[in-house]
């Protein structure tokens, strides 16, 4: 997952360009999902190596030195989905979001979830779960909030995108 490209019409990088980059980097079976920086491919590199390789290549090719890459495996995505708070499992899935964290186990600043009701969040190992009954576009629990809360970079995906990425990885 990439953070910092194709945001509100700025910092454009096409998925075709990213897929070409993956091919040149010798990543196998590369596919993209949506126009928001979701890539799935096979690689023998460890997650940290993969992230730094792609970040360097994006900086070199496109000039975006602050694009953040978060590499997750099928097991990582499954664990994130399985870690959804149990009491949230009956919620409308269209109101659920996953803010993936660059650093696992990030230190959470002192903020109480009940201060943002009806919106709420829960912190996982490398994710912050966000429930926004009035929609993500209206919540204060956006990606910037999560980054302030955790002190690390984050990128947010909705329930459907996260599930689709898991399906692509598992295929």
* CATH number of the domain encompassing residue 32: 3.30.70.1280
**Residue found under tokens 């499992």:** 89
Q: How far apart are the C-alpha atoms of 61 and 57, rounded to whole Å?
A: 6
Q: What pLDDT does 108 receive?
A: 76
Q: Domain end: 69, 100, 121, which one?
A: 69
pLDDT in tens for each of the 171 residues of the chain?
999 887 666 788 888 999 999 999 999 999 999 877 899 999 999 999 999 999 999 999 999 999 999 999 999 999 999 999 999 999 999 999 999 999 876 677 766 677 899 999 999 989 999 999 999 999 999 999 999 999 999 999 999 999 999 999 998
In a domain, 84, yes or no: yes
- Tokens found for residue 7: 């945001």
Is the domain of 105 the same as that of 127?
Answer: yes
Q: What 3-state DSSP class applies to 54?
A: helix
% helix, strand, coil for the chain, step of 5: 40, 20, 40
Distances from the Cα of 50 to the Cα of 6, 11, 56, 90, angstroms: 21, 21, 10, 36
- Tokens found for residue 100: 């993936």
∠ CA 94-107-105, rounded to 5°: 70
In a domain, 166, yes or no: no
**Residue 16: HSE in the Cβ half-sphere, 13 Å Cα cutoff:** 0
Residue 166: cis peptide before it, omega within 30 degrees of 0: no
Q: Domain end: 69, 100, 119, which one?
A: 69
Most distant CA pair in the chain: distance in Å?
48
Is the domain of 102 the same as that of 139?
Answer: yes
Is the domain of 99 the same as that of 135?
Answer: yes
Determine the structural domain holding residue 46 and report its residue range.
2-69
Q: What pLDDT does 114 receive?
A: 75
Is the domain of 96 the same as that of 51?
Answer: no
Is the domain of 20 the same as that of 63?
Answer: yes
Is the domain of 65 the same as that of 131?
Answer: no
Neighbour-count burial of 162, counting CB atoms closer than 10 A to its CB (0-12 exposed, 13-18 middle, 19+ buried): buried
Q: How far apart are the C-alpha atoms of 11 and 62, rounded to whole Å?
A: 9
Q: Domain end: 49, 69, 89, which one?
A: 69
Is the domain of 95 the same as that of 142?
Answer: yes
Domain count, the chain: 2
């Amino acid at each position: 997952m990439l953070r910092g490209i194709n945001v509100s019409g700025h910092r454009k990088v096409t998925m075709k360009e990213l897929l070409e980059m993956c091919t040149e980097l010798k990543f196998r079976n590369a596919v993209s999902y949506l126009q928001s920086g979701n890539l799935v491919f096979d690689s023998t590199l460890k997650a940290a190596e993969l992230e730094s390789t792609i970040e360097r290549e994006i900086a070199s090719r496109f000039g975006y030195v602050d694009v953040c890459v978060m590499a997750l495996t099928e097991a990582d995505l499954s664990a994130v989905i399985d870690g959804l708070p149990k009491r949230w499992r009956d919620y409308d899935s269209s109101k659920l979001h996953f803010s993936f964290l660059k650093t696992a186990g990030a230190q959470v600043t002192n903020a109480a979830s009940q201060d943002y009701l009806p919106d709420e969040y829960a912190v996982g190992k490398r994710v912050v779960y966000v429930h926004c009954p009035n929609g993500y576009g209206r919540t204060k629990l956006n990606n910037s909030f999560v980054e302030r809360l955790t002190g690390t970079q984050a990128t947010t995906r909705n329930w459907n995108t996260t599930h689709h990425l898991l399906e692509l990885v598992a295929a």
